[in-house]
Chains A and B, each alone.
Chain A
Amino acid sequence: MRFLARLGAPVREFLVFLGDQAHLVAQTVRFGLKLRLDQLGTVAGQIRLQIRFTGLQAFLLVCGTALLLGAVTLIQAFTQLSGLGAKSYIGLLMVLIILRELGPLLTAVLVIGRSATAIAAELGTMQLNGEVDALAAHGVNPYQYLLLPRWIGVLVAVFALVVFFDTSALAGGFLVAHFKEGVTLGVYMDSVRDALVNRDLLATLLKVFLFSSAITFHACRHGLAIRRSQTEVPQAVTRTVVSALVAVFLVDGLVAAFLYA
């Protein structure tokens, strides 16, 4: 029996975790819909802070990474596939590799590394200091003041970062295509446009929404679960990174399976 209990413990923990996540999402939506007009200004201030931290302050990092990735993708393509007419596939390669997959995925990974960790640590410290209790005890609903702004802020920031990631990666690819193979901007953009389908826009929007939600609620759940000591903060941060990464890769696979399989 003890062996069976030990075997079932991780499954039970996982189910409890899923239940907690569903509860957080449901409560945030429920109280978000109950926000009064006179509370919007206060919540909007928190959303602005989250967008600034997650989006604006990560802008250069994301654009730099994407520029290099776009360039490296076409350098490798031209080097490895030169005999197969890589030049005629540049648009398809950029759409398949960057816009469809790596753009949203790498942006989410960077946001997990920068922002999800910060959210988990911040909420965990607030919980330990009694700040979350203090908010609730004075009529400030933590779902409205803490969770909703973080969710919306991360959502807006991830959407903007994915747009800039894709743009920068295309720019990096174009620089290589132009200087290595003499491809003009018109030819390059036509090639990309031909490879794009409407489903790509839908997939990107779906991924942005699901990735942002997974990142935010994993971070919030692990941060708010801290109860006893400061030593739990780094543990919560580590758990956030691991579980958010797993969730994001899982969602990515599911979206690809549903939309492209």
Chain B
Amino acid sequence: MIQVDDLSLDAPDGRPLQQGLHLHLEPGGSLLLLGSGGCGKSQFLRVLAGTVPPRTGRVRIAGVQTWPGEGALALAGRVRTGFVFAQGGLLSNQTLRDNVALPLRFAGTSPGETRARAEAALERFGLLSVADLRPHAVSASQRKLANVARVEALQPEVLLVDDPLEGVEAGDHARVIGWLRDWIQDAARTLVVGLEEPGDFGDLPVRRLHLSPIAPAEEPR
């Protein structure tokens, strides 16, 4: 499902972050992308999502080549992808409800089903009471949960999660961890989760890729 060959990444300021990355993830597979802050996890996830081009290398998602190429534009309408951003990522001029519903509407889901799925996702993460507020009017934790609710409603085939617990209040940790564990164990989804440490996911039988500042090393399953 995800195929990465000889990938090199740069930071936004042009600093080299990683080089020679290879990754082959089968459909339904999951990967924990581990490494300390600043080693390039977020940048790697953005390259996989098709929003940032790599310096060199080739990326294919579900057989569609994104790099070199048009990135996420090549996937639109062909592969359903989702991204839980570490921070931000919500449209500031729309309510949480509209943020959750927009990718569904654009994917051609009927209005009734869009409403029902958005409602269910917002309810699952305790956001119904603030669903009609815009992102600036809710807490950082609720914004992060809205990011999660958006992919829960969209049900993407490929899900990229950047630091799932960053900014989430301690009281909501269990909710996010439970949701992510369900998704990791779902054979219909392919997941890449960026984390500093495996932490609450350490016991799951998933592949891990450790990113150190330059030399990457992939651990066996």
- B71/A136 in contact, CB under 8 A: yes
With a cutoff of 8 Å between Cβ atoms, the chain A residues found around residue B90 in the complex are 131, 134
With a cutoff of 8 Å between Cβ atoms, the chain B residues found around residue A133 in the complex are 46, 49, 51-52, 89
- A38/B50 in contact, CB under 8 A: no
Q: What 1/0 flags go to B81-92 for Cβ under 8 Å of A?
A: 111010111111
- B71/A138 in contact, CB under 8 A: no
Interface size for B (C-beta < 8 A) is: 35
| Known contacts A42-B102, A138-B154, A130 near B89 by CB under 8 Å | yes
| Known contacts A38-B108, A133-B46, A138 near B92 by CB under 8 Å | no
With a cutoff of 8 Å between Cβ atoms, the chain B residues found around residue A126 in the complex are 91-92
- B91/A139 in contact, CB under 8 A: no
Minimum CB–CB distance for B156 against chain A, Å: 8
Interface size for A (C-beta < 8 A) is: 25
Q: Say if the beta carbon of A141 comes within 8 Å of chain B.
A: yes
Minimum CB–CB distance for B67 against chain A, Å: 13
Q: Say if the beta carbon of A145 comes within 8 Å of chain B.
A: yes
Q: Say if the beta carbon of A129 comes within 8 Å of chain B.
A: yes
Q: Say if the beta carbon of B72 comes within 8 Å of chain A.
A: yes
With a cutoff of 8 Å between Cβ atoms, the chain B residues found around residue A36 in the complex are 77, 108
- B108/A130 in contact, CB under 8 A: no
Q: Say if the beta carbon of A227 comes within 8 Å of chain B.
A: yes
Q: Say if the beta carbon of B105 comes within 8 Å of chain A.
A: yes
- A136/B51 in contact, CB under 8 A: yes
B87 closest partner in A (C-beta) = A130
Q: How far is the CA of A138 from the CA of B154 in the complex (A)?
A: 8
- A141/B73 in contact, CB under 8 A: yes
With a cutoff of 8 Å between Cβ atoms, the chain A residues found around residue B77 in the complex are 36, 139
Q: How far is the CA of A227 from the CA of B12 in the complex (A)?
A: 9
Q: Say if the beta carbon of B138 comes within 8 Å of chain A.
A: no
B110 closest partner in A (C-beta) = A38
Q: How far is the CA of A189 from the CA of B106 in the complex (A)?
A: 49
Q: How far is the CA of A145 from the CA of B151 in the complex (A)?
A: 19
Interface of A, helix, strand, loop or mixed by DSSP: helix
Number of residue pairs A-B, CB distance < 8 angstroms: 86
- B75/A134 in contact, CB under 8 A: no
B103 closest partner in A (C-beta) = A138
- B72/A137 in contact, CB under 8 A: yes
Q: How far is the CA of A39 from the CA of B203 in the complex (A)?
A: 42
Q: How far is the CA of A180 from the CA of B83 in the complex (A)?
A: 68
| Known contacts A136-B73, A140-B103, A141-B73, A130 near B154 by CB under 8 Å | no
Q: How far is the CA of A132 from the CA of B125 in the complex (A)?
A: 24
Q: How far is the CA of A39 from the CA of B114 in the complex (A)?
A: 13
Q: What 1/0 flags go to B102-125 for Cβ under 8 Å of A?
A: 110111100000000000000000
With a cutoff of 8 Å between Cβ atoms, the chain A residues found around residue B52 in the complex are 133
| Known contacts A136-B50, A137-B72, A39 near B92 by CB under 8 Å | no
With a cutoff of 8 Å between Cβ atoms, the chain A residues found around residue B87 in the complex are 130
Minimum CB–CB distance for B193 against chain A, Å: 15
Q: Which residues of B contact A (CB under 8 A)?
A: 12, 46, 49-52, 71-73, 75-77, 80-83, 85, 87-93, 102-103, 105-108, 150-151, 154, 156, 160
Q: Which residues of A contact B (CB under 8 A)?
A: 31, 36, 38-39, 41-42, 122, 125-126, 129-131, 133-141, 143, 145, 227-228
Between A and B, 10 residue pairs with Cβ closer than 8 Å are A38-B108, A39-B106, A122-B93, A130-B85, A136-B51, A138-B103, A139-B80, A140-B102, A140-B103, A140-B106
